[in-house]
Amino acid sequence: MLYNIKIEFIVGSFFILSCMTVFISFMSYFYFRHKYILLTQEICDTLDNVILGRNSIQNMDWETQSSKIRSKLDAVIKITKCANEQNALQKQELEQIISDISHQVKTPISNILMYSDTLQASKALTQDEHKFLLIIQSQVKKLEFLIQSLIKMSRLESDMLVMKQEISPLFPVISKAISSVLLNADKKKLRLEVSCPQELCIFFDSKWTEEAIFNVLDNAVKYTSFGGKIFIKVEQWQLYTRIQIEDTGQGIYPEHQNNIFKRFYRESRVHKESGVGLGLYLTRKILEQQGGYITVNSYPEKGSCFSIFLPNKNSM
């Protein structure tokens, strides 16, 4: 009898001890889980401060592990903030340098063109001298175009240009781009056709989008033979508005189609044409900064079809 009582006592004690162990384990789990959640929340809050450039959480207890982590993150905030300030300052300095270069170069180029025009009007010049002056004027204009293209490229690549996107009609932008190439198109007797709803409005930067469309149109005019055709068609899809520019020009070989959007890239067979290989590169950069993109579908000697895609506002 006494033996049974001892066994029951031992079993009961073991059961109570087991229950206490389980209870303590659960309490420890919830306690440390709560501490872990607080720690991770503090880390997340501090990382948010790093991302947003705000100051870190203060009043830290330096004796705890979490405070040590927060102090390290606070140091990251200070380093990141300092780096951002330096980048902003360097960006501002670079923008000023580019602006100064643009201004300093523009004046002598304008003077050269003005003086050459004055000399061109002189009757005392020989035929060869007139010819040389025309060559000078042509080369200076090419130089001016190259410099302006390089300045645009520098501004786009250094993110110094902020796209001023707003709801605006698209048709006037396309009309301006066409008017810029119309003279050269008339010289080659090219037929231009446009299909664009005049009431269509989209969310975009009208100035830079005109530049992007002009670059594609300029290439279409440049590489389309006498008497050819250029067709511009605008369609609004669910997520994007597509501006399709199709020509009957010389086309692009498949192995070169991925390269034409790189800067300074030009096919060997088009070197006789004027240009520096920046137009399509600038177009791609302009569209990317607006959340858009450009594609090409081309067949040698049959023509090319470039598609400019601009996101609709409700899809952004």
- Bridge partners of 244? 233, 307
Q: What is the pLDDT of residues 169-178, one digit of tens each?
A: 999 999 999 9
**Of 184, 187, 197, whose CA–CA distance to 243 is shortest?**
197
**Range of weakest confidence among 61-70, 155-164, 260-269, 296-305:** 61-70
Report d(CA 160, CA 36) in Å as an integer.
Answer: 43
Q: What is the reported pLDDT for 146?
A: 76
Contacts of 140 (CB under 8 A, 6+ apart): 109, 112, 113, 116
Q: Which of 25-29, 240-244, 279-283 has the lowest mean pLDDT?
A: 25-29
Confidence band (pLDDT; 50, 70, 90) for 167? very high
| pTM for the structure as a whole | 0.64
Instruction: Write out pLDDT tens, residues 246-261.
Output: 999 888 888 888 888 8
Tell me the percentage of the chain whose pLDDT exceeds 90: 30
Cα(272)–Cα(265) distance, integer angstroms: 14
| Fold (topology level) of 166-315 | Heat Shock Protein 90 (3.30.565)
Report residue 7 CA to chain centroid gap: 80
The DSSP symbol for 240 reads E
Cα–Cα distances (Å) from 238 to 137, 170, 241, 277, in that order, read 48, 17, 8, 33
Give the pairing type, strands 166-169 and 191-195. unpaired
For the chain, give the mean pLDDT: 79
11-17 average pLDDT score: 64
What is the rounded CA–CA span in Å between residue 220 and residue 308? 14
- What is residue 303's three-state secondary structure? strand
Domain limits, the chain = 1-161, 166-315
> Which of 13-27, 182-196, 201-215, 228-242 is predicted least confidently?
13-27
What pLDDT is recorded for position 52? 66
**Residue 6 confidence (pLDDT) above 60:** no
| SS3 of residue 31 by DSSP | helix
Name the CA dihedral angle for 169, 170, 176, 182, rounded to a multiple of 10 degrees.
Answer: -140
Question: Does the pLDDT value for residue 189 go beyond 90?
Answer: yes
**pLDDT score at 240:** 94
DSSP-derived secondary structure letter, 56 = P
pLDDT at 206: 92
Q: Which two tokens stand for residue 110?
A: 């304008």
Q: Say yes or no to pLDDT of 105 above 70.
A: yes
Question: Each residue of 63-103: pLDDT tens digit?
Answer: 465 566 666 667 777 777 787 777 777 666 666 666 677 66
Q: Is the pLDDT at 62 greater than 50, yes or no?
A: no
Dist. CA 32–CA 40, nearest whole Å:
12
